[in-house]
């Protein structure tokens, strides 16, 4: 739809992506404070219901032929802001429901469901657009939002924290940031979230260009490549969900992040579809294992009363992901996408080794 209303502008696609990403960075601190002050379940239900309403508006504008680029931008900002409200509460609520010794399994299971949608969602949407156009897909998506809100709404659990009424929201945000960066383990976990965001996720933005340059494939082949990454990510998170109480998690996280960087660097220099397949699956697997374990350890090492605010800081780093692709996109334009991805993977591996060398606490983390 964006391409249709902007005469195939790639810049417009980037700007729309930023409308979702930037609120994750800006709104997340407030969302984290709200998650520690109010019912996390109610915040998730509210955000999903509001997403449904905004998506219905978008579908209505589309089917009436009234949609323009500024509509997409404004609704994108609101949807991104609601996602920022949703995610800290959605992640923190898991630790309210399951015991700590099952937290990694639960978070991995949650992430595996998200990864499954990466496999099936884009292909299904592309198929449906042929029959019900983009407007019809928006209405279907809004129905799924409503279903999600109802599903979360019927969950019953006893929170392990008390609702906060003795401080201001601004004070809560300040306390959360101070707490997160005063704890050595949490500080290390945030640094090791930031490194992959800077260097590891560049392939999300550059894979289409790489596929065109290295393999000369069209959208159908690109869909298969993206699906392979989703399959790898699903396998990784399901394996973690099925695993027992793993030891030496710090070492395992560092190893998976290093392997992710090495695989990305080697993958970038492949020149055949057959060779690319195992590397894409492995990149999806290692990145999903790393991110699931990182989110688990952040929650395990956080005070229950602070988990919403602590998770919001993790969400802020994810919001920066599209911005991190800009410098590598610039490099790709100058020296080629394959070499840009090579640099990206090599830097991810190198910074992981550098961090591990100077952080014994992280290496010994269980």
The CA R_g of the chain, rounded to the nearest whole Å, is 20
What's the pLDDT band for 162 if we cut at 50, 70, 90? low
Q: What is the DSSP string of 100-137?
A: GGGHHHHHHHHHHHHHHHHHHHHHHHHHHHHHHHHHHH
Closest to 239 (Cα-Cα) out of 197, 292, 193: 292
Q: Say what the pLDDT of residue 14 is.
A: 64
Residue 218's CB is within 10 A of a number of other CB atoms, namely: 10
Our CA dihedral for 201, 9, 23, 341, rounded to 10 degrees, sits at 10
Q: What is the mean pLDDT of the chain?
A: 82
Lookup: tokens for 74: 């404004």
Residue 241: partners with Cβ closer than 8 Å, 6 or more residues away: 105, 106, 108, 109, 112
pLDDT mean over 136-165: 82
pLDDT mean over 198-222: 76
Higher pLDDT, 226 or 10: 226
pLDDT in tens, 170-198: 787 888 788 877 888 888 888 888 888 88
Residue 236: partners with Cβ closer than 8 Å, 6 or more residues away: 115, 284, 285, 286, 287, 288, 289, 292
Residue 37 has pLDDT above 70, yes or no: yes
Higher pLDDT, 235 or 110: 235
pLDDT in tens, 88-140: 788 778 878 888 778 778 877 877 777 777 667 766 777 788 888 889 999 99
Residue 23's CB is within 10 A of a number of other CB atoms, namely: 22
Q: CA 36 from chain center: how many Å?
A: 21
What's the pLDDT band for 265 if we cut at 50, 70, 90? very high
State how far the Cα of 104 lies from the Cα of 90, in Å rounded to an integer: 15
What's the pLDDT band for 5 if we cut at 50, 70, 90? confident
pLDDT mean over 195-207: 81
What's the pLDDT band for 257 if we cut at 50, 70, 90? very high
State how far the Cα of 122 lies from the Cα of 124, in Å rounded to an integer: 5
Q: What is the DSSP letter of 320?
A: T
Higher pLDDT, 10 or 13: 13
Domains identified in the chain and CATH numbers? 2-157+165-363 (1.20.1250.20)
C-beta of residue 296 within 8 angstroms of C-beta of residue 191: no
Taking each helix axis as running N to C, give the angle between helix 184-199 and helix 249-268, from 0 to 180 degrees, rounded to the nearest 10: 10
Region for 168 from its dihedrals, namely left if φ exceeds 0, alpha if ψ lies in -120 to 50, beta otherwise: beta
Encode burial over 41-63: b for 16+ CB neighbours within 10 A, e otherwise.
Answer: bebbbbbbbbbbebbbbbbebbb
Lookup: tokens for 222: 């690109």
Q: Say what the pLDDT of residue 230 is.
A: 81
Q: What is the 3-class SS of 233-251, one letter each residue?
A: HHHHHHHHHHCCCCCCHHH
pLDDT mean over 84-90: 83
Say what percent of the chain tops pLDDT 70. 90
Strand spans (E) along the chain: none
The pTM for the full model equals: 0.75
Residue 161 has pLDDT above 60, yes or no: no
Q: Say what the pLDDT of residue 165 is.
A: 58
What's the pLDDT band for 160 if we cut at 50, 70, 90? low
Lookup: tokens for 211: 């596929």
Say what percent of the chain tops pLDDT 90. 21
Closest to 349 (Cα-Cα) out of 250, 289, 265, 251: 265
State how far the Cα of 177 lies from the Cα of 83, in Å rounded to an integer: 20
pLDDT mean over 78-91: 84
Place of tokens 């190198």: 350
Q: How many residues does the chain have?
A: 366
pLDDT mean over 33-46: 85
């Amino acid at each position: 739809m964006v391409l249709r209303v902007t005469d195939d502008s790639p810049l417009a696609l980037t700007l729309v992506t930023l409308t979702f990403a930037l609120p994750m960075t800006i709104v997340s601190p407030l969302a984290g404070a709200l998650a520690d002050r109010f019912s996390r379940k109610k915040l998730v239900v509210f955000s999903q219901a509001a997403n449904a309403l905004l998506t219905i508006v978008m579908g209505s504008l589309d089917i009436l032929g009234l949609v323009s680029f500024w509509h997409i931008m404004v609704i994108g900002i609101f949807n991104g802001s609601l996602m920022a409200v949703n995610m800290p509460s959605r992640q923190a609520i898991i630790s309210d429901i399951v015991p700590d010794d099952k937290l990694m399994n639960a978070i991995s299971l949650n992430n595996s469901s998200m990864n499954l949608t990466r496999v099936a969602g884009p292909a299904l949407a592309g198929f449906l657009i042929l029959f019900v156009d983009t407007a019809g897909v928006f209405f279907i998506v809004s129905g799924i939002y409503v279903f999600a809100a109802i599903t979360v709404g019927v969950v019953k659990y006893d929170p392990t924290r008390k609702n906060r009424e003795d401080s201001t929201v601004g004070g809560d945000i300040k306390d959360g940031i101070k707490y997160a960066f005063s704890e050595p383990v949490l500080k290390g976990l945030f640094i090791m979230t930031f490194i992959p965001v800077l260097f590891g996720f560049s392939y999300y933005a550059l894979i289409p260009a790489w596929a065109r340059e290295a393999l000369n494939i069209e959208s159908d082949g690109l869909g298969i490549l993206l699906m392979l990454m989703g399959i790898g990510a699903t396998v990784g998170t399901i394996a973690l969900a099925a695993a027992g109480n793993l030891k030496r998690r710090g070492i395992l996280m560092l190893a998976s992040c290093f392997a992710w960087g090495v695989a990305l660097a080697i993958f970038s220099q492949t020149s055949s579809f057959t060779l690319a397949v195992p590397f894409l699956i492995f990149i999806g697997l290692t990145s999903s294992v790393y991110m699931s374990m990182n989110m688990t350890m952040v929650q395990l090492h956080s005070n229950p009363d602070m988990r919403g605010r602590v998770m919001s800081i993790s969400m802020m780093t994810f919001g920066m992901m599209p911005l991190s692709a800009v410098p590598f996109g610039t490099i790709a334009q100058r020296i080629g996408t394959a070499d840009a991805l090579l640099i990206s993977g090599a830097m991810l591996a190198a910074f992981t080794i550098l961090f591990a060398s100077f952080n014994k606490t992280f290496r010994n983390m269980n």
